[in-house]
Amino acid sequence: MIVQKKKQRMNYCGFTLLEMLVVLLIISVLILLFVPNLSKHKESVDKKGNEAIVKIVETQIDLYTMEKNQTPTIDQLLKEQYITQEQYEKYQANKK
């Protein structure tokens, strides 16, 4: 009987292994739900960014045409600094 009284008097402190496992399970399920969505959003953002680069280069072509009364090549735009090297490369990779 003395042993039972000591067990009843012990204060509960900390988490049990079962509680920790439940928390880890919940966290892992949430990660499994959100990681695929993040990769889809990244692809969407990259696609929209590439479309924006193409639009910028096309706008610069129009601007050059209005200023000089001739249609430029992409290389001319780069040479005359209407577009950057990065825009040039992305446009070449994504032009339709």
The residue ranges of every structural domain in the chain are: 45-96
Q: Which DSSP symbol is given to 12?
A: P
Whole-prediction pTM value? 0.59
Here the contacts of 43-50 (C-beta below 8 Å, separation 24 or greater) are: 50/90, 50/93, 50/94
Convert the pLDDT of each residue in 33-62 to its tens digit. Answer: 888 877 788 888 988 999 999 999 999 999
At residue 37, the pLDDT reads: 79
Q: pLDDT category, 13, cuts 50, 70, 90? A: confident
